Amino acid sequence: MLTERMEEALNQQVNAEMYSSYLYLSMSAYFESINLKGFANWMKVQAQEELLHAMKIYDFINERGGRVKLTAIDAPPTEWDSPLAAFEAVYEHECKVSGLINDLVNLALEEKDHASHIFLQWFVTEQVEEEASADEIVQKLKLMGDARGGLFMLDRELGQRSFTMPTSSE
Ligand code: FEO
């Protein structure tokens, strides 16, 4: 059984993951609008992953006998100044999400909720990856500066990313 505080905090995280999905889908649309299809693909896959994060928490709340309560999702921005600005925003956003996950872990400890504590470990590990992959692309974009050739090569690379439905152990 979840405590009231834990249930509320997990519900808030469902909303945060939904917002992340919405944000990345908005970035995907931005990249489509400037004809960077590979970047758009990367963002669309990222949006799908975020939806999966939300569903993981949604299922966990139900499994623990809690009550899922969906709330309004904020509208994301729709424009960015450049591919670099968009990826800097991704990195910044992921750092913020890592903070939210850390807060949830602290709350689980406070509430002596070991099941939630174990469940959240997956998210702690995932956030390390999420921050690293966003930062890697930020660094590449910084390195290439205004070189158009580099941008098209990176677009091709990001176009390779595909969404894979994880198995239950992932
Ligand atoms: Fe679900 Fe990118 O954090």
Cβ-in-10-Å burial (0-12, 13-18, 19+) of 61 comes to: buried
pLDDT recorded at residue 168: 61
Protein residues whose CB sits closer than 6 Å to any atom of ligand 1: 17, 20, 50, 53, 94, 97, 130
d(CA 157, CA 160): 6
pLDDT recorded at residue 167: 74
CA of 68 from ligand 1 middle (Å) equals 19
Output the pTM of the full model: 0.95
pLDDT band, very low/low/confident/very high, at 145 (cuts 50, 70, 90): confident
Residue ranges covered by each domain of the chain: 4-158
CA of 19 from ligand 1 middle (Å) equals 10
CB 46 within 8 A of CB 53: no
Ligand 1 atom showing the smallest separation from residue 127 Cα:
3
pLDDT tens digits for range 40-76: 999 999 999 999 999 999 999 999 999 999 999 999 9
CA of 147 from ligand 1 middle (Å) equals 30
Nearest to 105 by CA among 90, 87, 124, 89: 124
pLDDT tens digits for range 79-127: 999 999 999 999 999 999 999 999 999 999 999 999 999 999 999 999 9
**At the topology level of CATH, where does 4-158 sit?**
Ferritin (1.20.1260)
